């Protein structure tokens, strides 16, 4: 891949292969950002890249596909080092990676799903913030977290608790960096027709849910 200039707007989107993360990555590229799109699903990343190329908009940014697991600490360190060496920093980090454990009563909580929820939704966030913060500081960047307040709701034990812990980490980081940056934003998206929501609410009338691209555009406009 060719060397990019430090002045180019570069965004890292973790969880970019599907749902709102994919829509945000697509909107960013169409707005001229170079997007480092990270996810485990190679096919989803390739479809994202194809959509951006097919749009063929003048001034659209490029796409670097990073098929890797956000819970792999060594892979994340290597990626952040590559971003530093190639671009010097980041203008934006969108953290959309999430594990949606099946709904279950607490008395029947599956331990593998619980551990995966903690690893993806909570632990990975706590590991990534120290890695990404220097990259955002270098370019006066912004971090965007997507809240989904389910903590305490029936059957949402694993997802609700691990997601709430993720947002608690983000809020602490937000308070700590309020004066000197990087800027940390926490937004609650509108209900959307994502695979995660379909897993939680099967049979829901999806025609009443929001449009992914429109919601992505709304969130980016707030930046």
pLDDT in tens, 64-109: 999 999 999 999 999 999 999 999 999 999 999 999 999 999 999 9
With DSSP H G I counted as helix, E B as strand and the rest as coil, what are the percentages for the chain, rounded to 5? Answer: 50, 15, 35
What's the confidence (pLDDT) of residue 2? 39
- Asked if the model's pLDDT at residue 6 lies above 90, the reply is no
CATH code of the region 10-215: 3.40.50.720
Average pLDDT over residues 108-115: 96
- Asked if the model's pLDDT at residue 4 lies above 50, the reply is no
Length of the chain measured in residues: 223
Structural domain spans, the chain: 10-215
d(CA 25, CA 14): 9
What's the confidence (pLDDT) of residue 92? 98
- Asked if the model's pLDDT at residue 146 lies above 90, the reply is yes
What's the confidence (pLDDT) of residue 61? 79
What's the confidence (pLDDT) of residue 3? 44
Average pLDDT, the chain: 94
On whether the CB atoms of residues 184 and 222 are closer than 8 A, the answer is: no
d(CA 62, CA 30): 9
Q: Which residues of 187-203 are buried (b: 16+ CB within 10 A; e: fewer)?
A: eebeebebebbeebeee
3-state SS assignment for residue 169:
helix
- Asked if the model's pLDDT at residue 7 lies above 70, the reply is no
Residue 141 banded pLDDT, cuts 50, 70, 90:
very high
Q: How far is CA 60 from CA 33, 42, 54, 63, 93, in A?
A: 7, 22, 11, 10, 18
Residue 8 banded pLDDT, cuts 50, 70, 90:
low
pLDDT in tens, 159-210: 999 999 999 999 999 999 999 999 999 999 999 999 999 989 999 999 999 9
Average pLDDT over residues 3-26: 85
Residue 37 banded pLDDT, cuts 50, 70, 90:
very high
What's the confidence (pLDDT) of residue 179? 96
Q: What is the DSSP letter of 140?
A: T
On whether the CB atoms of residues 69 and 75 are closer than 8 A, the answer is: yes
């Amino acid at each position: 891949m060719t060397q990019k200039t430090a002045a180019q707007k570069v965004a890292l989107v973790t969880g970019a292969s599907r749902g709102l993360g994919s829509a945000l990555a697509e909107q960013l590229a169409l707005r001229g950002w170079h997007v480092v799109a990270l996810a485990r699903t190679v096919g989803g990343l390739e479809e994202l890249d194809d959509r951006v190329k097919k749009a063929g908009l003048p001034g659209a940014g490029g796409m670097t596909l990073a098929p890797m697991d956000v819970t792999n600490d060594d892979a994340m360190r290597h990626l952040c080092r590559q971003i530093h060496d190639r671009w010097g920093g980041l203008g934006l980090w969108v953290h959309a990676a999430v594990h949606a454990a099946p709904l279950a009563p607490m008395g029947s909580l599956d331990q593998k799903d619980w551990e995966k929820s903690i690893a993806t939704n909570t632990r990975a966030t706590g590991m990534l913030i120290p890695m990404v913060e220097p990259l955002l500081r270098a370019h006066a960047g912004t971090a965007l977290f997507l809240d989904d307040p389910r903590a305490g709701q029936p059957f949402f034990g694993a997802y609700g608790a691990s997601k709430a812990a993720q947002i608690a980490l983000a809020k602490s980081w937000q308070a700590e960096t309020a004066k000197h940056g990087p800027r940390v934003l926490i937004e609650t998206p509108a209900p959307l027709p994502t695979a995660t929501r379909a897993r939680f609410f099967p049979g829901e009338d999806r025609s009443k849910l929001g449009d992914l691209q429109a919601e992505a555009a709304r969130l980016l406009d707030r930046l």
